[in-house]
Amino acid sequence: MIPRDAVEELQRAASSPDDGDLPRGALVIARIEHPHLDPAPSLARLTRLGALAMVRLERLGRTAGAYEQIAALNQLLFEDEGFHPNEDDYEDPRNSMLNDVLERRTGIPITLSLVFMEVARRCGVHAEGVNFPGHFLVKGRSNRFDTEEPHDIIIDPFNRGAVLTDAQCRELLRRVAGDEAVFDRRMLAPVGKRGILVRMLNNVKRLYVGMRSFPQARDAVDLLLALDPLAINELRDRGLIAYHLDDHVRALRDLEAYLRATSRVTASGTEADGQPPDEEHREIWDHVKALRRRIAGMN
């Protein structure tokens, strides 16, 4: 179980105006896999990378364009330091844990993007997260030393910092979301720290549920609810996870709260308008009845 002080640290990181708190929030998430994690070594690694990046940019000079700066960061991170996508073992939970990504030099799109953004921030290069469907990206910005009009620069750290055109973003969307997906430039809107941390937690939750590692999955849902207490579906999922863990009291509490919050099922098992519940709510109601019987039998 994630301790209360870690939950509060995540909440502070998500709401803080300081962008530098993002890695601290990510390292709280890493405590799901590493309960006794000390964040200091990982933050020191980022400090080292940021210092190296600053030296590279100083060599370029003050008149360097954004594309030159991005190329310098790519050279540092993906060539010299050896960061690379973990395509062979994509579902390994360590790919979602910032400390492991920094130590092993491999990860998935969102964690490699986080490393890129944090190193860029430390040397003054503009970089924001992009919640692109199925594949997290980074958005940079051209500067007055670039030859074209000011514009956004879309970067894919999972592809070693490749700069993507709209056509390439469209093709990426097709690969990750299917042929029916329609590209819209609004998909390239920047996302804040809270949105990044929520996406990381959703990845972690999905992985642990798929592995049937339910204690860790519940930790992920606890952190998701800490970031958004009104995320009713997470309340449902936490109840279902507790059900799998035979934690009957907590499962009943969460599933009953979910049914009350969605106002779909009354205590008698019908919807508020007297109609039968839909399939999902019927299944939840069946779980609630079974849990009530089990708890009653324990007393």
Evaluate if residue 184 carries a pLDDT over 90.
yes
Is 103 within the bounds of a domain?
yes
Is 199 within the bounds of a domain?
no
Is 206 within the bounds of a domain?
no
CA distance 27 to 108: 16
Evaluate if residue 40 carries a pLDDT over 80.
yes
Q: Map tokens 């592995």 to a residue.
A: 211
State whether 150 and 285 are in the same domain: no
CA distance 272 to 286: 17
Is 295 within the bounds of a domain?
yes
pLDDT of 294: 87
State whether 36 and 158 are in the same domain: yes
Give the residue-averaged pLDDT of 209-237.
Answer: 96
Evaluate if residue 280 carries a pLDDT over 90.
no
Specify the CATH number for the domain of residue 142. Answer: 3.10.620
**131, 163, 191: which is the final residue of a domain?**
191
Angle at 27 between CA 154 and CA 164, to 5 degrees: 10
State whether 37 and 105 are in the same domain: yes
* Helix axis angle, 22-29 to 109-122, nearest 10°: 150
pLDDT of 277: 64
CA distance 1 to 218: 8
State whether 42 and 113 are in the same domain: yes
Q: How confident is the model at residue 177 (pLDDT cuts 50, 70, 90)?
A: very high
Q: Which of 140, 129, 132, 137 is nearest to 174 (CA)?
A: 132
Give the residue-averaged pLDDT of 211-222.
Answer: 97
pLDDT of 147: 79
**Under 8 Å between Cβ of 93 and 207:** yes
Q: Map tokens 């692109």 to a residue.
A: 132
User: Is the pLDDT higher at 218 or at 148?
Assistant: 218
Question: Of the ranges 100-114, 120-134, 145-159, which one carries the lowest mean pLDDT score?
Answer: 145-159
Evaluate if residue 149 carries a pLDDT over 90.
no
Give the residue-averaged pLDDT of 58-67.
Answer: 93
Residue 101 structural domain:
4-191
DSSP β-ladder status, 106-107 and 137-141: unpaired
User: Is the pLDDT higher at 148 or at 225?
Assistant: 225
Q: How confident is the model at residue 24 (pLDDT cuts 50, 70, 90)?
A: very high
pLDDT of 273: 52
State whether 20 and 72 are in the same domain: yes
pLDDT of 297: 77
Residues with Cβ within 8 Å of 231's Cβ and at least 6 positions away in sequence, in order, are: 224, 225
Count up the domains in the chain and report the number.
2
For 235-268, the pLDDT digits (tens) are 999 999 999 999 999 999 999 999 988 865 555 5
Residues with Cβ within 8 Å of 6's Cβ and at least 6 positions away in sequence, in order, are: 28, 31
Is 212 within the bounds of a domain?
no
Evaluate if residue 129 carries a pLDDT over 70.
yes
State whether 177 and 249 are in the same domain: no
State whether 262 and 137 are in the same domain: no
User: Is the pLDDT higher at 148 or at 23?
Assistant: 23
State whether 236 and 181 are in the same domain: no
